[in-house]
């Protein structure tokens, strides 16, 4: 018998119908996001005191794209879990001594009930984003115009992340992290919520809110001046395109970075080490 979650349960989220297929743009976004997660995990796991584990249910592979049934089964499972427990952050961070060495490096395919004891031991969750820019070069080229790159926050994700945090008794710090090809920035989820709230009554510099005219989905853009540097590139990646054929014969060209290496900033390491897992 699976032990119940210890927190007061909230009602399941009402989610839209899962997408029937993945678009080319969506797949490229997922591929680039998976690269960012990999680079972040590599950097964190090189620390003597920290460990990062893949937790979020986001991936693509040939089976999911070439088989309509495999995609439907996968995305239905993701939405079912998200409705009950909320949206999983992409990465979980642990103090090394808090998690057994034989704990899997990837728990993203496991049911929430199976891994909740592992999740409770984490000190933070990270939503990892990626961007096809070299940050410093963008600043040199566009900074004088008052332009600023941003962390993207989907409106639909906010409710889902809040639901996840409630599932784990509100105990988990959450962070958004945006990785460029030369450095990464982070901001806490609570700071994001505060900026969004402030923008309802006054103008907030380097912040904007947009609704996509085609999909109707809303996105918040939080300028990098609100965030702090957490990753610095030691080696830059290269970007390639991989072809993959879908179940209906359509061929996708999936743009994805490869390689690259990053190191954590001291400030980011100190912040993470100041966190502790909270009792359930």
Q: Tell the burial category of 17 from Cβ atoms under 10 Å away from its Cβ (0-12, 13-18, 19+).
A: exposed
Band (pLDDT 50/70/90 cuts) for residue 280 is very low
Q: Is the pLDDT of residue 224 over 50?
A: yes
Q: What is the pLDDT of residue 143?
A: 84
Question: 41-87, pLDDT tens digit by residue?
Answer: 999 999 999 999 999 987 655 556 666 777 787 788 888 889 999 99
Q: What is the pLDDT of residues 105-142, one digit of tens each?
A: 999 989 999 999 999 999 999 999 999 999 999 999 99
**Total-model pTM:** 0.90
Question: pLDDT digits over 250-278, tens only?
Answer: 887 888 899 999 999 999 999 999 998 76
pLDDT of res. 226: 97
| Crossing angle (nearest 10°) for helices 155-167 and 68-85 | 60
By percentage, how much of the chain surpasses pLDDT 90?
64
Rg (CA), the chain: 19
CA separation for the pair 195, 211 (Å, rounded): 18
Q: Residue 156 class from Cβ within 10 Å (0-12 exposed, 13-18 middle, 19+ buried)?
A: middle
Q: Residue 211 pLDDT > 70, yes or no?
A: yes
CB 39 within 8 A of CB 232: no
Query: Distance of CA 118 to CAs 52, 113, 149, 249, Å?
Result: 12, 10, 35, 41
Phi, psi torsion values for 120, nearest 5 degrees: -60, -25
Residue among 25, 21, 22, 60 at smallest CA distance from 253? 25
> Residue 1: its pLDDT value, please?
37
Q: Which pLDDT score, from 0 to 100, does residue 256 have? A: 84
Task: Write down the mean pLDDT value for the chain.
Answer: 88
pLDDT of residue 62: 53
Identify which of 29, 48, 51 has the alpha carbon closest to the alpha carbon of residue 40: 51
- Residue 149: is it exposed, middle or buried by C-beta count within 10 angstroms (0-12/13-18/19+)? buried
pLDDT in tens, 178-200: 999 999 999 999 999 999 999 99
Residue 188 bridge partners (DSSP): 175
């Amino acid at each position: 018998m699976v032990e119940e979650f210890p927190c007061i349960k909230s009602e399941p989220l009402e989610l839209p119908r899962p997408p029937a297929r993945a678009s080319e743009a969506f797949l490229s976004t997922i591929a680039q996001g998976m690269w960012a997660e990999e680079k972040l995990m590599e950097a964190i796991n090189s620390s003597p005191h920290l460990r990062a584990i893949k937790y979020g249910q986001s991936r693509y592979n040939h089976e999911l794209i070439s088989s309509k049934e495999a995609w439907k089964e996968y995305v239905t499972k993701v939405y079912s879990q998200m409705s009950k427990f909320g949206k999983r952050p992409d990465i979980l961070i642990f103090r090394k001594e808090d998690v057994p060495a034989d704990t899997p490096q990837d728990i993203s395919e496991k049911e929430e009930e199976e891994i909740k004891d592992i999740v409770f031991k984490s000190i933070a969750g990270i939503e990892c984003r990626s961007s096809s820019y070299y940050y410093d070069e963008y600043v040199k080229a566009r900074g004088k115009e008052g332009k600023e790159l941003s962390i993207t926050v989907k409106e639909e994700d906010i409710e889902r992340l809040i639901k996840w945090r409630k599932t784990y008794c509100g105990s988990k710090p959450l962070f958004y992290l945006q990785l460029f090809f030369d450095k990464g920035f982070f901001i806490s989820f609570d700071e994001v919520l505060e900026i969004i709230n402030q923008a309802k009554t006054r103008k907030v510099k380097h912040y904007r809110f947009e609704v996509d005219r085609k999909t109707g989905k809303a996105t918040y853009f939080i300028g990098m001046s609100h965030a702090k540097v957490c990753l610095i590139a030691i080696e830059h990646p290269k970007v390639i395109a991989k072809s993959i054929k879908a179940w209906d014969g359509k061929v996708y060209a999936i743009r994805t970075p490869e390689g690259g290496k990053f190191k954590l900033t001291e400030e980011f390491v100190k912040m993470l080490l100041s966190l502790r897992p909270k009792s359930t």
